[in-house]
């Protein structure tokens, strides 16, 4: 051994024990893979898994550098042992080629690639700006990024199309829940994407659609940690009378409470607010695709609607065997799910579900359309309460301007006066062009629910059995019921909503009372008056 050390010019310092063979090391203490590339580069040092450093020259600068490199990799440097160069060389040879390790390092670095970082930054920007959706419009010349806030889109950034394509592909291929499908911009695709960004965990839903000259990708922000607090029905915009009806429905021993509205109308938030009203001595199962809002004290079950054995219906049937008091079926989109709802109500449970319709009474027609018989629908055990909701843009309280001062409304003033009366128009407000700092120049202060809530009573069931929705609505109106359109107009009257924003939601506010029949004469007179006024003014 002494000969060998001499032949390599190695002289151990006097009085220092030299490690000359592997057998002198702890049995499992192999060279550290994390430090392998570094050691292979230096060729005179080996770092073991325990943090022990083997070197022929303990006083060299390399040992200091090695300690720093280890600390950078969060490895704690251990003791420094003097080792024979032959041992170091043999350990280095066993490590293999430096190329192998560089590949590993690159792979690790690529796990969070530039595109993934860009995706995270984009999502973080959206979360910071409190937007609901990120629209990426990728075309041959440009990729437009638009954010939706309070229901309206605004341009956030413009990227090179290549970056847009890469970020979209990375989102689908590397970040989504089910890594089954490969991103293909030529077909419509959708997926759920949990993402960790600086501010915390964000859940998103991705959807893509081919378009002329490229494709669109939309990322909907389902929930962030920040907004996981439950908002009350009152804060959402439900009226006291509507809240009374919903609370009464929740106290029913069995039946169905159905909530309808278009996509993105805040149904999930309302559902969470309803569930929050349930006493925690009750067992609640929610079947959702995916879980959008975490509600404490509730068992939330995610389903995958793409596979039959994990559908709303099959999970709903399973939940019925779990001794529940309340069952929430995320979405009723087929006869199968509707039948689970019926079975649950008849076996003594209160069921909540959402459905897509254009009005609360319209829920009946939708269910009939799914194949549920009118006799079943009018059974007194089945339907309790029907809710329909939409979201309306609320004026920014800091910068809204009196309607009469709004240039955008100058041409419509006569119409508003006809609908609301002169005195009321004096108290109405409009958006200020350009907004203010408080509202990020949107001129809006958020969105509120405009809803209609129907309590299904004995009389109502008679209409339901005949599927006579028109007569039912007439009856409801005679009982003082208000539609979501009435609610939107009431909010204009309160000076909370710009009349144009109300019309964007409910259509043109009519000057004739359509429940009494459309008045063609009144419409003609109105047109003539308008024309005469315009002539006068010009």
Residues interacting with Zn ion, by CB under 5 A? 396, 398-399, 435-436, 438-439
- In the complex, what is the shortest distance from the CB of residue 437 to Zn ion, in angstroms, rounded to a whole number? 7
**Burial annotation 233-260 (CB, 10 A radius, 16+ → b, else e):** beebbbbeebbebbeebbeeebbbbbbb
Pick between residue 307 and residue 438 the one whose CB is nearest to Zn ion.
438
Q: Give the integer Cα–Cα distance in Å for 202 and 223.
A: 6
Maximum Cα interatomic distance, the chain, rounded to a whole number of Å: 118
Here the tokens at position 320 are 């019925």
**Burial annotation 292-308 (CB, 10 A radius, 16+ → b, else e):** bbebeebebbbbebeee
Here the tokens at position 21 are 């063979």
- In the complex, what is the shortest distance from the CB of residue 429 to Zn ion, in angstroms, rounded to a whole number? 12
* SS3 state at 455: strand
In contact, 377 and 469? CB cutoff 8 Å: no
- In the complex, what is the shortest distance from the CB of residue 495 to Zn ion, in angstroms, rounded to a whole number? 15
- In the complex, what is the shortest distance from the CB of residue 407 to Zn ion, in angstroms, rounded to a whole number? 17
- In the complex, what is the shortest distance from the CB of residue 432 to Zn ion, in angstroms, rounded to a whole number? 7
CA 314 from chain centre, in angstroms, equals: 25
Neighbouring-strand partners of residue 372 = none
Pick between residue 424 and residue 436 the one whose CB is nearest to Zn ion.
436
Pick between residue 338 and residue 399 the one whose CB is nearest to Zn ion.
399
Q: Give the integer Cα–Cα distance in Å for 7 and 200.
A: 60
Q: Give the integer Cα–Cα distance in Å for 442 and 455.
A: 37
Pick between residue 151 and residue 316 the one whose CB is nearest to Zn ion.
151
- In the complex, what is the shortest distance from the CB of residue 149 to Zn ion, in angstroms, rounded to a whole number? 13
Q: Give the integer Cα–Cα distance in Å for 286 and 280.
A: 14
Total residue count of the chain as it appears in this document? 538
Pick between residue 36 and residue 396 the one whose CB is nearest to Zn ion.
396
Pick between residue 230 and residue 436 the one whose CB is nearest to Zn ion.
436
- In the complex, what is the shortest distance from the CB of residue 412 to Zn ion, in angstroms, rounded to a whole number? 22
Phi, psi of 239 (to 5 degrees): -80, 160
The H or E element that residue 154 is part of is strand 152-159
Pick between residue 129 and residue 511 the one whose CB is nearest to Zn ion.
129
């Amino acid at each position: 051994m002494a000969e060998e050390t001499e032949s390599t010019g190695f002289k151990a310092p006097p009085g220092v024990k030299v490690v000359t063979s592997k057998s002198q090391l702890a049995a499992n203490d192999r060279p550290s893979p994390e430090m392998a590339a570094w050691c292979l580069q230096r060729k005179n040092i080996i770092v073991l898994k325990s943090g022990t450093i083997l070197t022929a020259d303990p006083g060299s600068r390399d040992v200091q550098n090695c300690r720093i490199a280890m600390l950078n990799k969060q490895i704690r440097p251990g003791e420094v042992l003097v080792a024979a160069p032959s041992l170091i060389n043999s350990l280095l040879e066993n490590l293999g080629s430096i190329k192998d390790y560089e590949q590993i390092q690159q792979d690790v670095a690529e796990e969070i690639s530039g595109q993934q970082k860009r995706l995270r930054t984009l999502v973080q920007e959206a979360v910071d700006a409190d937007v609901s959706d990120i629209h990426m419009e990728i075309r041959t010349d440009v990729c437009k990024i638009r954010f939706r806030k309070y229901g309206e889109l605004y341009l956030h950034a413009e990227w090179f199309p290549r970056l847009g394509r890469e970020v979209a592909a990375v989102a689908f291929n590397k970040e989504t829940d089910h890594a089954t499908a490969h991103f293909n911009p030529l077909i419509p695709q959708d997926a759920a994407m949990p993402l960790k960004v600086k501010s915390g965990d964000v859940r998103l839903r991705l959807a893509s659609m081919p378009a002329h000259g490229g494709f669109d990708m939309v990322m909907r922000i389902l929930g962030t940690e920040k907004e996981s607090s439950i908002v009350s029905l009152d804060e959402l915009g439900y009226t006291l009378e509507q809240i009374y009806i919903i609370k009464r429905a929740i106290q029913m021993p069995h039946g169905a409470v159905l909530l309808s509205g278009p996509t993105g109308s805040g149904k999930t938030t309302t559902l969470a607010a309803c569930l929050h009203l349930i006493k925690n001595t009750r067992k609640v199962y929610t079947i959702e695709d995916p879980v959008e809002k975490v509600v404490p004290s509730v068992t939330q079950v995610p389903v995958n609607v793409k596979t039959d054995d994990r559908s709303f219906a099959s999970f709903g049937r399973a939940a019925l065997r779990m001794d529940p008091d309340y069952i929430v079926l995320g979405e009723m989109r087929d006869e199968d799910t509707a039948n689970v709802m019926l079975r649950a109500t008849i076996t003594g449970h209160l069921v909540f579900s959402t459905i897509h319709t254009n009005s609360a009474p319209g829920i009946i027609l939708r269910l009939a359309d799914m194949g549920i018989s009118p006799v079943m629908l009018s059974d007194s055990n089945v339907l309790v309460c029907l809710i329909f909701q939409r979201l309306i843009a609320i004026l920014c309280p800091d910068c809204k301007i009196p309607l009469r001062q709004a240039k955008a409304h100058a041409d419509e003033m006569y119409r508003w006066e006809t609908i609301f009366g002169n005195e009321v128009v004096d108290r109405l407000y409009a958006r200020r062009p350009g907004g203010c700092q408080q509202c990020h120049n949107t001129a809006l202060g958020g969105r509120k629910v405009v809803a209609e809530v129907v309590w299904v009573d004995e009389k109502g069931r008679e209409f339901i059995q005949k599927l006579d929705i028109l007569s039912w609505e007439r009856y409801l109106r005679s009982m003082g019921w208000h539609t979501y359109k009435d609610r939107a107009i009431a909010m204009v009257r309160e000076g909370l909503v710009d009349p144009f924003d109300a019309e964007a939601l409910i259509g043109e506010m009519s000057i004739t009372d359509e429940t009494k029949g459309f008045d063609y004469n009144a419409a003609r007179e109105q047109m003539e008056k308008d024309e005469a006024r315009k002539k006068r003014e010009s």
